[in-house]
């Protein structure tokens, strides 16, 4: 005797399934611009590196991290800043 599940599709569940189908269709139709994809990858790289150094107790902030990822300042870096820039420079 095969298994026959007993369930009811309530109107609320049917609306939720329809919303999921609509969202899925939209996401399949969207084509992201390559420059946007590159920007998101770069931001993610900075945030990932920052999280890695912060786990080790670094005091570098998100604002400092993005500033350091753009161009090194014309001053001596703190140990925390140097650790962050070394990590981002080598693809950490």
Residue-wise pLDDT tens digits, 14-36 = 999 999 999 988 888 888 888 98
In a domain, 8, yes or no: no
Q: What tokens were used for 17?
A: 């399934």
82 located within any domain? yes
CA 81 from chain centre, in angstroms, equals 22
- What CA–CA distance (Å, rounded) separates 33 from 46? 20
Query: Which range marks the domain in which residue 80 is found?
Result: 33-92
Q: What's the total number of domains in the chain?
A: 1
**Which pLDDT tens digit goes with each residue over 51-89?**
999 998 999 999 999 989 887 778 898 999 988 888 887
Is the residue at 18 inside a domain? no
- Assigned token pair, 85: 């820039």
Does residue 80 fall inside a structural domain? Answer: yes
Residue 22 in any domain: the answer is no
**Domain-embedded: residue 83:** yes
- Other Cβ atoms within 10 Å of 84 Cβ, number: 25
Give a yes or no: residue 6 inside a domain.
no
């Amino acid at each position: 005797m095969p298994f026959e599940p007993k369930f009811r599709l309530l109107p609320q569940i049917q609306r939720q399934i329809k919303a999921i189908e609509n969202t899925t269709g939209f996401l399949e139709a969207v084509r992201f611009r390559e420059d946007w994809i590159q920007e998101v990858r770069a931001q993610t790289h900075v945030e990932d590196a920052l999280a890695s150094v912060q786990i080790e107790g670094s005091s570098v902030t998100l604002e400092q991290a993005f500033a350091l990822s753009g161009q090194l300042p014309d001053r001596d870096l703190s140990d925390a800043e140097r650790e962050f820039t070394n990590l981002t420079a080598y693809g950490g």
